[in-house]
Amino acid sequence: MTPVLVVKTRGKQLAHLAPVDAQQRLIELWLHDKPESTKKCYMRYATELTAFLAGVNKAIAQTTVEDLVAFSEHLHNKGLGAATIKTYIAAVKSLLSFAYKTGYIRFNPGAAIKLKKVDQRLHEKVLTETDIALMIRLAERAEYRYKYQQIRDVLILKLLYVAGLRVSELVGLMWKDFTPRDRSGQITVVGKGNKSRHVLLPEYLWVELMNYRGDALKDAYVFPSRKGKGLKPLQRQNLDPIIKDAAQRVGLTEKVSCHWLRHSHATHNAERGTPVPLIQQTMGHADLATTSGYIHIRPGDSSALHLPRV
């Protein structure tokens, strides 16, 4: 039987589709309420899957468990790392789950695939407090062609670390997400799964952000793209050079990325005794176990230290 797609999201029927272009429409509906940055990534994953399936004369509606295993091997043969492959497969599982819930497929092969645990080696992605302070101080003293770019870059470094933001959350910030509170203020962040949370900022950072804002309208992006004439946000790939330059000024040879600052936020807070639930709330972790993992990266004590010398 040829699948007919019936989709409901938030209780509202979106579409009844006949089979012609149903696969492409399925993907579009799966993506429609996701953040723009997520859409781009997920579309890339879905395109990789459909291209792989087309190579064996199949479509999503005919996908089997064996196909998913073969797809994982295909990604491995392309040279992708374990963590990246896990991200691809997680997205594919989400797509297939959506297809199953909408009646597009009668069996969900993704449900039979268990995501492998990946050694994230978080301890290798955590900077010292001194390194981060130096990255910010040297960025403030660096020579820039335009002063506003320097101020922007410094604030990007500070928000990634101090607020523990994900890249997608940072680039999606608009001035309407900022709410004054006494002498400081808070930002409303839209994280994974379109879940929002509120992050209270320290007074010094709030003042710096308000000075940077100037007369920008509330619907303007905090970090706009020059190509979009201020109407579009800075792209994720534009942030990598900012972090790379800041790390190189300090003499760091590792490939430091934006996420290192987020990891460092969690680790440094855990080391300073900040309550784990508060770190979880600030970072937007759905699972407390994710936050708890940062406590064990650089423990202050262990039972090994309590044994006699041998």
Outline where DSSP puts E strands in 58-114: none
Distances (CA, A) of 205 to 12, 105, 119, 142, 269: 41, 50, 34, 20, 17
Distances (CA, A) of 72 to 48, 130, 302: 11, 40, 38
Tokens standing for residue 86: 């896990």
Residue 99 and residue 204: Cα distance in Å, rounded? 48
Distances (CA, A) of 99 to 6, 23, 115, 117, 277: 10, 9, 19, 25, 35
C-alpha count within 13 angstroms, C-beta hemisphere, residue 5: 22
Do the Cβ atoms of 205 and 142 come closer than 8 Å? no
Cα-trace Rg, the chain: 22
Task: Enumerate the active-site residues.
Answer: 166, 192, 259, 262, 285, 294
Residues 6+ apart with CB under 8 A from 104: 3, 5, 22, 26, 60, 61
Query: What burial letters (b/e) apply to 36-60, b meaning 16+ CB within 10 Å?
Result: ebbeebbbebbebbbebbeeeeeeb
Q: In 3-state terms, what secondary structure has residue 117?
A: coil
Distances (CA, A) of 228 to 153, 220, 221, 234, 304: 18, 12, 11, 9, 56
What is the DSSP-derived secondary structure letter of residue 10? T
